[in-house]
Amino acid sequence: MSELTDKVALVTGGSRGIGRDAALALAKAGCQVAISYLQADEQARQVVDEIHHNGGQAIAFKGDISSPEQVNRIVLQTRGAFGEIDILVNNAGIAKVQDWQDITPDDWGAVLAANLTSSFLMSHAVLPAMQRRGWGRVIMISSMAAQTGGVIGPHYAASKAGQLGLMHSYANLLAGKGVTVNAIAPALIETDMIKNNPKITPELLPVKRFGKTEEVTAVLMMLLNNGYITGQTINVNGGWYMS
**Which residues have a catalytic role annotated?**
156
Q: What dihedral angle (degrees, nearest 10) is formed by the CA atoms of 204, 207, 210, 211?
A: -130
CB 200 within 8 A of CB 192: no
Among candidate residues 99, 38, 29, 84, the one with its CA nearest the CA of residue 63: 38
Q: For residue 211, count other CB atoms closer than 10 A to its CB.
A: 22
Element housing 217 (H / E):
helix 213-224
Alpha-carbon torsion (22, 190, 186, 211), positive or negative: positive
Q: How far is it, in rounded angstroms, from Cα 157 to Cα 195?
A: 18
Q: Are 122 and 65 in contact (CB under 8 A)?
A: yes
**How far, in Å, CA of 155 to CA of 175, rounded?**
30
Q: Please give the Cα distance from 36 to 56 (Å, whole number).
A: 17
Q: What is the H or E stretch that residue 9 is in?
A: strand 8-12
